[in-house]
Structure 1
Amino acid sequence: MKKRVISGLCASLIVSLSACNTDNVPTNQAPADAVKTQAATAVSQALSSGIDFSNMDKTVRPQDDFYLYMNGAWMKSAEIPGDRTTIGAFYDLRENARNDVREIIEDLSANTHLVAGTDEQKVADLYRSFMDVDTLNKLGITPIQADLTKIDALKNKSELTAYFGESQANGGPTPIAFYVDIDAKDSSRYATHLYQYGLSLPEKDYYFNQAERFVNIRNKFALHIEKMFDLAGLANGKVAAQKILALETAIAKQHWDVVQNRDSTKTYNKYQTKDLATLAPDINWQGYLAALGADKQSDIIINQPSFIKGFDQLVKNTDLATWKTYLTWQTLSQSASDLTQALDAENFDFYSKTLNGQQEQQPRWKRGVSTVSGTLGEVVGKVYVKRHFAPEAKSRMTQLVANLSHAYASSVDSLDWMSAETKVATKQKLSKFTSKIGYPDKWADYSKLTIQSDDLIGNLKRAAVVSHNKDIAKLGQPIDKGEWHMTPQTVNAYYNPTMNEIVFPAAILQPPFFNLKADDAVNYGGIGAVIGHEMGHGFDDQGAKFDGDGNMRNWWTDADLKAFHVKTKALVNQFNGFQVFDDLHVNGELTLGENIGDLSGVTIAYKAYKMSLKGKEAPIIDGLTGDERFFMGFSQIWRVKMKEEAMRNRVATDPHSPGHFRALGALSNVPEFYKTFDVKPGDKMYVAPEKRVKIW
């Protein structure tokens, strides 16, 4: 299931007045003036600004590069550990959350008298099954042997295509991804969906780009397949590698690219299931859907119909033996990190080291924690919330969301490019936003899942079956408004258009995003901008296609929609101009939705912050005005450092711009930033007023 999420944020150490020298904080305003009254000084002694001054590079003018001004010293000195590809606030919080979850899991695992079938037993034994390397080495590929035998026994294309469904229902690989989600044009019902799938490399361009880097990746990919076959004791690895690469290249040719797949209009194509045989006659649709438990559905939504049509021709024209080789590879590759140490190491060498630049495998406990958290997430999440999420954090977040919503409505009223008619529809949608903060009201039920301490692959397969059956059971039932698509210990956030909801898990509600000990300015610049970002997704180039009830329909006047597209096109052009490396620019079309979210987020959060002051002057804290703290708080959340390989991968596939440009791109369009830091013509961040983009 696809959800919009925040993906690259930044970290900081909170510094109080007593620990910092305010003379070391350059601004373009006088460091001392009449505003510094005795009362303001008393406030500054009680509150922290929430700004980490040690990260700042005072040799950079804030008017030229505010991101490096705030984060440059850290960028120069911070080193990426060998077992990571990325560091920064967002990623450091993830590490903190993983450490917290480790304590929870190990506390549960220390109990040797757990009752079979309890959630605690399942957490402990799943972790043990992952950590028991000796057993995994002894088992070899035995845990997937039944799947490989079944693949080898396929007699014809009808059995082959039915197996695609059977494999997915049991947690295995498939070249066509099936899922259950809310119908985008009828948000009162769940519908079945099909999505293109089946590639081992990150995106279709990896199969066709003739640049040296991509040619090298394809050559290493073929060698990787050969090594994996050899390590698994499978014959003819070299020949198999060439067949697999050729077939995946043919599949990739049918794939839509990352920009096309963002378009919610183009990817909504409802078919009657009886008509699937006309679209793709060489696929055994009855067998495929029956294996998934979805053969009673009268319709299905296909995201990329041309892919299904082209894939059908591949089924027809590719011999059965090649398909068996492909499925054998996909099964082996998918399970590699949960099999022997040798297979795990080779899998790491290609996918983490070659593709992303990660030099060392993570300690096994880290991966074990991720496995448990991904499989039994809300069991762990329930304990995580009790230990690490203060009730006052939820209360304060609830108020912040209400304040941002009020500011958003006020901002809509002030827009000079939108008609009164569309303003009414916009505010109607805004009034219907649902916010979820911290954790779900009702926790997930894992009673149907069996976990054994010596059966890692079996545990994961059984978990996949339970998850799949849970999704199938939604069909024909009322929408579950309480469902979460992230666990409380996830450092992230998302907007879900078909439920018109914004969701903030507990783990992201920490400094530098959210700091209970800091003055409001930095919280509005941090988590306030994140709240505004997620609200902004409701009105980005795709979210704006959905109404307040989660239905995809046009609620715009023609003139307003045209004006909106002019503004979004200008934002695309701005971000296309950001250069990541000498040979690589940001993809403004791919990142448009997130860039709108960032621009909306900081704009609305600033407005909400000023409204919260109720006409009063903000106190001076750590030598900084409220407006300075707001924009500094915003910039520091995007602090990130990434391996070049990982960055190139992200730019090709991730709808979020790199952190550096998320900060610069948003702030260069905000007039209040110019006023606060005296940005003028000739400064590198200066954009002429007529070229600045203001959407919301």
Structure 2
Amino acid sequence: MKTKHYVAVAAFATLAMAGCTGQKNATNTSGIDLANMDTTVSAGTDFFRYACGGWNDAHPLTAEYSRYGTFDQLAENNQKQLRGLIEELAAKQNEPGTAAQKIGDLYNMAMDSVTLNKQGCEPVKPMLEKIAALTDKSQVIPIAVEMRRTAGIGTFFSYYVYADPKNSVLNIFQMGQGGINLGEKEYYLDNDSITKNIREQYKKYIAKLFTLAGFTETDAQQKVADVMEIETAIAKVSKSATELRDPEANYHKMTYAELKKQISGIDWDAFMKALGIEAPAELNVEQIEPIQEVAKLINTLPLSKSISYLEYNLLDAAAPTLSDDFVTARFDFYGKVMSGRQANQPRWKRAVNSVDGLLGELVGEMYVEKYFPAAAKERMVNLVKNLQTALGQRIDAQEWMSDSTKMRAHEKLDAFRVKVGYPDKWKDYSALEIQKDSYWANVCRAAAWGFNDMISRLGKPVDRDEWLMTPQTVNAYYNPSTNEICFPAAILQPPFFNMEADDAANYGAIGVVIGHEMTHGFDDQGRQFDKEGNLKDWWAAGDADRFKERAQVMVDFFNNIEVLPGLHGNGQLTLGENLADHGGLNIAYLAFQNATKDAPLEDKNGFTPAQRFFIAYATLWAGNIRDEQIRVYTKSDPHSLGEWRVNGALPHIQAWYDAFNITPNDPLYVAPEKRVNIW
């Protein structure tokens, strides 16, 4: 179920799991592999191709990928190492209740295709029967909550416990829109031929799940209509991905009594009872209208339609853990239709991903012990300090900001919490049991454990030491609620971070990643949070307007990029990430200059230090992608496509023009007065 939890955590890229391979020797101390480049193309014509063409040619898309880039390459390589760690445990008889037993048994069940195919959909039959047995509309919300609480299945709307955006030290209950399995409202409402085809294929997928579960074709078609009616109705009143980027517009704190008044069609006492909690005195309803619509739908539609909707959400969520026919049906839609993939991942990869997703920090603790070098953390901490100094200098240099806003910006910068490598305290999984009954049953237990862990925080202080990514994740993030930047261990390896390379490559790669996350504290969303992580206007009069005016240049620039014939980028949706790339490049380049001013680096491989800085940055975004995935990302992803994080970002950086002698005759040239100039 693709509900979204809109804590405005800004990640560096759209990628999840990986482990760490440890440090490898670079091809040379320049940190640049010439084989990755295509110097038959000029830097000013297509810098993405110039810096990454060789890599792209050497890594064509295989059937299992809709996108394959440097992030994916690391994930794939490290996935093999995680497999080794996990399979070593899975081959043993482990003491019950130990981390080894939980990891090994879960993996073995995910790998046991014989048992999975024998069981078919039997593991979900008890819940299917429970849903089908509903006799009154008042039972719909309680069983929907039960599905969320005991199996992690989101349905009509989302809810979670996290920091109050305007009182960041306290965890409060929060609710928001959800309920649409295609993720974005446009998939239900747009009428271009491609989107209409996706809807038709989605209907076939829904029908397939019902027939696999034993329903007749006639019943399945009726249930398709029921599901589409409910999801389309919710989509019509849901906010778009772009609208969700406005934190103030998505904050509606109210008392419990006000909730009952504003959304009167839901028995909130029954809802809270099903959750197993006392009704909170106050809560935040991020988007009110979609939940009002849910109340209307449940109360006005026949009960049978809500039953169909709940049944479908169960089958869709469970499909990856059931027999091969369910797995294939789900892949045929989400993999082939939505993203253009031609073949599913092999079972071992899916099993590793599942274990990593459900037992993340258990796997992380095991991986860090074997693969993460302490020296990498020490060097990373020093890099972060240098980037903080450079960002402070960039803040001081901004003529459009008043002195009072600069002062507060410095206070926020100085208050950054920095997390590198792995958490100081690991999550406690002792209450989670992994049993040898069914794969789905254990997925449910893990989801219930996670839900109970989350709900236990209600009304308690925010744990600022908690990590929102596992150490084996190749990514990084900024969290405005805690004003923290986090760099998991897995990103601290080439091409992001190379212990054998000089400062030109490392500042151009991991330096930009650091600067990117720091800039998120001052992008269109992050700038609205103060140094304590509270949603609060701390800007002096007029400064915010000047910021917006400059940011609009970025919006307009990316709106004009044609990512596919007839399809343009969404500059407003990607504004935060584009600003972070812009700031990250400027900050990292300044930090690089500061670090080498007393001992300038030599030219290497025919490239100046400045050129190697920008080549290293571009290398991060090497990759190929299918048209179908481009469409998915353009509708839903706040990150621009990799190509445009190079060819769209660098033309706004003067140092890049200087390094490669880019002139007005070059296709990528942007006149100075038309360039973005923030941070």
Give the Å deviation of 1:15.
11
CA contact (8 A) 2:662 2:669 kept: yes
- Aligned partner of 1:583: which letter? G
Correspondence 1:436 to 2:442: no
Aligned to 1:24: none
CA contact (8 A) 1:193 1:300 kept: yes
Aligned to 1:309: 292
**Paired residue secondary structure (2:211):** helix
Correspondence 1:391 to 2:374: yes
Aligned to 1:84: 65
Separation in structure 2 between the aligned mates of residue 379 and residue 462 of structure 1, nearest angstrom? 15
Aligned to 1:43: none
Separation in structure 2 between the aligned mates of residue 162 and residue 488 of structure 1, nearest angstrom? 36
Aligned to 1:124: 104
Q: Which ranges of structure 2 fall in alignment gaps of 5 or more residues? A: none
How many residues in Structure 1 have an aligned counterpart in Structure 2?
666
- Aligned partner of 1:413: which letter? D
Give the Å deviation of 1:296.
2.9
Aligned to 1:60: 41
Describe how 1:626-641 pairs up with structure 2 within 5 A: 626-641=609-624
Comparing 679-688 with 67-76, greater Cα deviation is found at: 67-76
**Paired residue secondary structure (1:474):** coil
**Paired residue secondary structure (1:283):** coil
Aligned to 1:159: 139
Aligned to 1:108: 89
Separation in structure 2 between the aligned mates of residue 176 and residue 297 of structure 1, nearest angstrom? 18
Percent identity reads 41
Give the Å deviation of 1:623.
2.5
2:438 alignment partner, one of 455, 477, 487? 455
1:133 alignment partner, one of 113, 138, 144? 113
Separation in structure 2 between the aligned mates of residue 232 and residue 604 of structure 1, nearest angstrom? 55
Comparing 662-671 with 514-523, greater Cα deviation is found at: 662-671
Correspondence 1:282 to 2:265: yes
2:649 alignment partner, one of 647, 658, 666? 666
Q: Which ranges of structure 1 fall in alignment gaps of 5 or more residues? A: 20-46
CA contact (8 A) 2:507 2:613 kept: yes
RMSD: 1.8
2:125 alignment partner, one of 133, 140, 145? 145
Separation in structure 2 between the aligned mates of residue 127 and residue 368 of structure 1, nearest angstrom? 6
CA contact (8 A) 1:129 1:452 kept: no
CA contact (8 A) 1:184 1:550 kept: yes
Describe how 1:227-238 pairs up with structure 2 within 5 A: 227-235=208-216, 236-238=219-221
Give the ranges of 4+ consecutive aligned residues of structure 1 lying more than 6 Å apart after TM superposition.
14-17
CA contact (8 A) 1:15 1:48 kept: no
Aligned to 1:561: 544
**Paired residue secondary structure (2:570):** coil
Once the two structures are superposed, what CA deviation does each residue of 1:388-410 show, in whole Å capped at 9, x if it has no partner? 11100000100000000010001
**Paired residue secondary structure (1:182):** strand
Correspondence 1:370 to 2:353: yes
Give the Å deviation of 1:380.
1.1
Separation in structure 1 between the aligned mates of residue 206 and residue 187 of structure 2, nearest angstrom? 16
Describe how 1:671-682 pairs up with structure 2 within 5 A: 671-682=654-665
Describe how 1:216-615 pairs up with structure 2 within 5 A: 216-235=197-216, 236-615=219-598
Separation in structure 2 between the aligned mates of residue 521 and residue 70 of structure 1, nearest angstrom? 15
1:212 alignment partner, one of 167, 173, 193? 193
CA contact (8 A) 2:233 2:293 kept: no
2:29 alignment partner, one of 34, 40, 48? 48
Separation in structure 1 between the aligned mates of residue 35 and residue 350 of structure 2, nearest angstrom? 32
**Paired residue secondary structure (2:44):** coil
- Aligned partner of 1:591: which letter? T
Aligned to 1:646: 629
Separation in structure 2 between the aligned mates of residue 526 and residue 467 of structure 1, nearest angstrom? 34
Separation in structure 2 between the aligned mates of residue 402 and residue 367 of structure 1, nearest angstrom? 38
Aligned to 2:51: 70
TM-score normalised by the chain length of structure 2: 0.96
- Aligned partner of 1:129: which letter? M
TM-score normalised by the chain length of structure 1: 0.93
Instruction: Check 1:104–1:15 CA distance in 2 against 1; reply closer, same or farther (3 A cut).
Output: closer
- Aligned partner of 2:664: which letter? P
Once the two structures are superposed, what CA deviation does each residue of 1:463-521 show, in whole Å capped at 9, x if it has no partner? 11111111111122222111011111111111100000011111111111100011111
Separation in structure 2 between the aligned mates of residue 671 and residue 271 of structure 1, nearest angstrom? 48
CA contact (8 A) 1:67 1:660 kept: yes
- Aligned partner of 1:539: which letter? F
Correspondence 1:199 to 2:180: yes
Give the Å deviation of 1:232.
1.2
**Paired residue secondary structure (2:175):** strand
Separation in structure 2 between the aligned mates of residue 453 and residue 381 of structure 1, nearest angstrom? 23
Comparing 95-104 with 363-372, greater Cα deviation is found at: 95-104
